[in-house]
Amino acid sequence: MKITGISTHVVGTPWRNLTYVLVHTDDGLTGVGETRMLGHTEALLGYLREAEVNHIAGSDPFAIEDLVRRMKYGDYGRAGEIVMSGIACIEMACWDIKGKALGVPVWQLLGGKVTDRVKAYANGWYTTERTPESYHAAARTVVERGYRALKIDPFGTGYFELDHDATTYAVSLIEAVRDAIGDECELMLEMHGRFSPATAVRLAKELAPYKPAWIEEPVPPENLKALEKVASKVDAPIATGERIHDRIEFRELFDSQAVDILQPDVGHIGGIAETRKLAATAETHYMLVAPHNVGGSVLTAASLQLAGCTPNFKILEHFNDFADAQIKHVVKGAPQVVDGYFALPDEPGLGVELDTDAAAEFPQQRAHFDLWAEGWEKRDPTGSA
């Protein structure tokens, strides 16, 4: 079997463009991959056009390791977010083809399942007025849909520092959310790399009474010494990793022991097998894995394949029940959350198919998303996000 070519389909929303890649073969099997780029969709499409000619067309879709190696190193330049995201789309599509050809789900090819279901946490649910009352009502809706975990960034446009009034208001939002969901639900606290170490530590202590399941990206991701400083002074687990695009670059995080939960994005770090290798290393360091997952249903399906065979998998992020829920319809067999969990799929490959006609109903958009603009959390086309 050989790859004859690829086709790309961009599904647009006001705050995110989702890039789907179909990998075609000479025996008629087709696989699908997906990633979500912020502000670089055209660059990704351009890279894929060149990679199709240079590396992809004519390759054996079963020889996934070889294809990934050639795409990553065969252009000599160091692979960054765009290249690793392009690799991820092709890689997961090849796993999809391989699973379909052999009649088994991808998790079966990666060692077999360790669980039948995967816990989900909701994100994108607080696209409402930024008040304690509105957040309380929105959080109750999440719980009523069966979720037992959710994530929130309550810090507005905070950057490095957060003054007394803004801190008090953020605390009031978290107090309202915790009251709405009860003590039994996990509440993940997102900082989006906003703060200086001192500010992150102060805020973590202010919010400790509300029992955050983790503190995510408390400081910008480039300086791991700053993250170590926070970890040494905060009792809650530290989560990070969505903006690291090569598993080799996680080495310093492992050495530092400054993180408890790794958050690689399967769509940015080179795909399923690369993330599985990272998870295995994390297991030797007693760290959990909870992938960043802000894409659509193909990326969710790929992350579920990883979850099914990974002993130290904690939980999977899910946007698509709350933000742009209509885009789930572009994927046949889209994974669904029932009573707070995804069932592990048994269908061959990734277990999903892209509906290209449905995808065409959501054309590519500007999709601007600015975390430091007022109203970003609403993900509203009429607002800043």
pLDDT of residue 270: 98
Does residue 198 sit in helix, strand or coil? helix
Closest CA to 130 of 164, 166, 180: 166
> Which residue type, as a one-letter code, is found at position 338?
V
Instruction: Say how far apart CA 250 and CA 253 lie, in whole Å.
Output: 5
Phi, psi dihedral angles at 252 (to 5 degrees): -65, -35
DSSP designation for 156: T
Task: Write down the catalytic residue from 24, 55, 245, 292.
Answer: 292
Question: Domains in the chain and their CATH numbers?
Answer: 3-104 (3.30.390.10), 108-351 (3.20.20.120)
pLDDT of residue 185: 98
Q: Which residues pair with 31 in a beta bridge?
A: 23
Closest CA to 319 of 343, 355, 339, 292: 292
Closest CA to 349 of 331, 361, 329: 331
Residue 9 annotated to the active site: no
pLDDT of residue 366: 87
Q: Which helix (H) or strand (E) holds 151?
A: strand 149-152
What is the DSSP secondary-structure string of 310-352? Answer: -TTB--EEE-TTTSSGGGGGGEET---EETTEEEPP-SSBTS-
**Segments of the chain scoring below 50 in pLDDT:** 382-385
Task: Write down the catalytic residue from 192, 285, 329, 368.
Answer: 192
Instruction: Say how far apart CA 382 and CA 374 lie, in whole Å.
Output: 12
- Its sign, for the CA torsion 45, 48, 53, 58, is negative
Q: Which residues pair with 5 in a beta bridge?
A: 24
pLDDT of residue 309: 98
H helix runs in the chain, sequence order = 41-51, 64-73, 81-102, 106-109, 132-144, 164-181, 197-207, 224-231, 251-256, 272-284, 297-308, 356-359
Closest CA to 210 of 232, 180, 240, 252: 180
Query: Beta strands 3-12 and 17-25: pairing type?
Result: antiparallel
Closest CA to 123 of 369, 320, 371, 295: 320
18: left (phi over 0), alpha (psi -120 to 50) or beta: beta
- CA angle in degrees (0–180, nearest 5) for 244-197-164: 125
